[in-house]
């Protein structure tokens, strides 16, 4: 063994950074919640209650501690209405139209019959369903059982279903992702982000409805899970379906796209295979990075350790603060999706970095340092 020269030190550093230390690491295990969540407690359901109505009275008589905070958010200008910081009149109609059209999407039955035939004739039906979802625009597809603990106990988003219990939920799920455009997300929290959300909610709803119709055509029960029409909490379901991991930003970090994705699903009674969960190194990377939490303008995200919520370990979101910020800006913000180093543009360089940080903990420190250097420690809105 010769003297420690700069050249040797350099090669030693390379070996430390590129050695696949985590190659043999066991796959992640997650603890499912021990109790179900009431959809009426989600922020969107709370804001859907109209003062003076029986549901408003009912809800705040059960959760009086939330009334003051919710009324304060209600008093701020609604999204797509003039008065917010980034309001753009030219975007109002396209956004409203997209959101309005989502529940009205009508599926072409002849197309569904053709797709169902393809699945019927396929040797491997789940693989064929996955191919179809991707042809329709999904960027990733996974399968899982749908644990009851991830299904809301009671519905609450719309007045027509407020208080409806969800009994006998469908036990299997096809979960898929659609990409949020990188260049639009770089403009977060401008109003263009809300348009991109509306566009991808629409695309995801269309795919989910077609796939649900295909399952039904094959003789099974199926329920499409899309914007404002959910029976299930999607990010943990996507984790179970092997599509990514939960980040400190309290949403999914997907392979190759980071958090820059929307999730949708089809719940069904067709037995589906269980995809394998993946380890992208997120758990460790989030303990070093914290960029989402430090840049969140409303301080809604946690810089601390994970906490126990309903028997599962998660980083929390202060949801009232988050939506209050949305309304002040006039968009659904999205900075925590866009600022995440995993969400950078999908290109070979970023793929390589994502691959390397999956395998080596030292590379995660290096990547975090490089990310600060190249993209900055704080969020800069691209104009």
Q: Which does 30 bind (CB under 5 to 8 A by kind): ligand B12, ligand SF4, none?
A: ligand B12
With contacts defined by CB under 6 A, name the span among 48-56, 135-143, 243-251, 303-311 that binds ligand SF4. 243-251
Q: Which does 248 bind (CB under 5 to 8 A by kind): ligand SF4, ligand B12, none?
A: ligand SF4
Q: Is there binding between residue 252 and ligand B12 (CB under 6 A)?
A: yes
Q: Is there binding between residue 226 and ligand SF4 (CB under 6 A)?
A: no
Q: Is there binding between residue 292 and ligand SF4 (CB under 6 A)?
A: yes
Q: Which residue has the tokens 């949305």?
A: 326
Q: How far is the CB of 124 from ligand B12 (least distance, A)?
A: 27
Binding mask 364-383 for ligand SF4 (x = CB under 6 A): --------------------
Q: Is there binding between residue 79 and ligand B12 (CB under 6 A)?
A: no
Q: How far is the CB of 36 from ligand SF4 (least distance, A)?
A: 24
Name the helix (H) or strand (E) containing 144: strand 140-145
Q: Which does 154 bind (CB under 5 to 8 A by kind): ligand SF4, ligand B12, none?
A: none
Taking the least distance from each CB to ligand SF4, the nearer of 174 and 336 is 336
Contact by Cβ (8 Å): 239, 252: yes
- By CB under 6 A, the residues from 17 to 56 that bind ligand B12 are 30, 32-33, 37, 42-44
Radius of gyration (C-alpha) of the chain in whole angstroms: 22
Q: Is there binding between residue 194 and ligand SF4 (CB under 6 A)?
A: no
Assign 161 to helix, strand or coil. Answer: helix
Q: Is there binding between residue 156 and ligand B12 (CB under 6 A)?
A: no
Contact by Cβ (8 Å): 119, 129: yes
What's the maximum distance between 2 C-alpha atoms anywhere in the chain?
82
Residue 297: phi, psi to the nearest 5? -65, -20
Q: Is there binding between residue 289 and ligand SF4 (CB under 6 A)?
A: yes
Query: What does DSSP say about strands 261-268 and 140-145: parallel, antiparallel, or unpaired?
Result: unpaired
Q: Which residues contact 382 (CB under 8 A, 6 or more apart)?
A: 183, 186, 187
Q: Which residues contact 155 (CB under 8 A, 6 or more apart)?
A: 39, 40, 161, 162, 163, 164, 165, 166, 231
Q: At what angle do helices 125-136 and 109-121 cross, to 10 degrees?
A: 140
- CA atoms of 34 and 321, how far apart (whole Å): 27
> What residues line the site for ligand SF4 (CB under 6 A)?
247-249, 285-286, 289-292, 296-298, 300-301, 317, 322, 325, 333-336, 339-342
> What residues line the site for ligand B12 (CB under 6 A)?
30, 32-33, 37, 42-44, 197, 230, 233-236, 239, 246, 249-252, 259, 261-264, 301, 309, 312, 314, 316-317, 319, 322-323, 332-334, 336-337
């Amino acid at each position: 063994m010769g003297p420690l020269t700069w050249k040797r030190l350099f090669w030693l550093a390379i070996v430390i950074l590129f050695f696949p230390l985590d190659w043999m690491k066991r796959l992640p295990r997650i603890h499912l919640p021990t109790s179900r969540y009431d959809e009426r407690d989600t922020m969107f359901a709370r804001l859907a209650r109209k003062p003076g109505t029986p549901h408003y009275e009912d809800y705040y008589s059960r959760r009086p501690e939330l009334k003051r905070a919710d009324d304060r958010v209600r008093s701020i200008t609604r999204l797509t209405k003039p008065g917010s910081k980034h309001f753009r009149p030219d975007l109002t109609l396209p956004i409203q139209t997209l959101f309005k059209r989502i529940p009205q999407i009508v599926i072409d039955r002849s197309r569904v019959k053709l797709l169902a035939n393809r699945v019927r004739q396929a040797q491997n039906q789940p693989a064929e369903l996955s191919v179809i979802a991707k042809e329709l625009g999904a960027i990733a597809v996974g399968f899982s059982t749908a644990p009851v603990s991830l299904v809301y106990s009671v519905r609450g988003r719309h007045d027509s279903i407020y208080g409806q219990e969800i009994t006998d939920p469908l036990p299997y799920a096809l979960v898929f992702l659609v990409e949020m455009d990188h260049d639009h997300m770089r403009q977060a929290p401008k109003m263009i982000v809300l348009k991109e959300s509306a566009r991808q909610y629409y695309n995801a709803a269309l795919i989910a409805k077609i796939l649900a119709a295909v399952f039904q055509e094959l003789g099974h029960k199926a329920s499409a899970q899309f914007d404002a029409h959910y029976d299930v909490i999607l990010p943990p379901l996507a984790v179970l379906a092997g599509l990514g991991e939960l980040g400190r930003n309290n949403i999914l970090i997907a392979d190759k796209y980071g958090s820059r994705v929307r999730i949708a699903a089809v719940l069904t009674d067709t037995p589906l295979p269980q995809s394998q969960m993946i380890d992208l190194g997120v758990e460790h990377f989030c303990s070093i990075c914290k960029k989402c939490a430090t840049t969140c303008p409303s301080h809604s995200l946690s810089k601390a350790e994970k906490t126990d919520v309903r028997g599962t370990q998660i980083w929390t979101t202060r949801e009232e603060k988050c939506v209050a910020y949305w309304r002040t800006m006039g968009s659904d913000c999205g900075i925590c999706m866009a600022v995440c180093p995993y969400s950078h543009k999908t290109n070979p360089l970023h793929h390589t970095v994502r691959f390397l940080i999956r395998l080596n903990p030292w590379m995660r420190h290096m990547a975090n340092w490089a990310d600060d250097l190249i993209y900055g420690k704080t969020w800069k809105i691209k104009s």
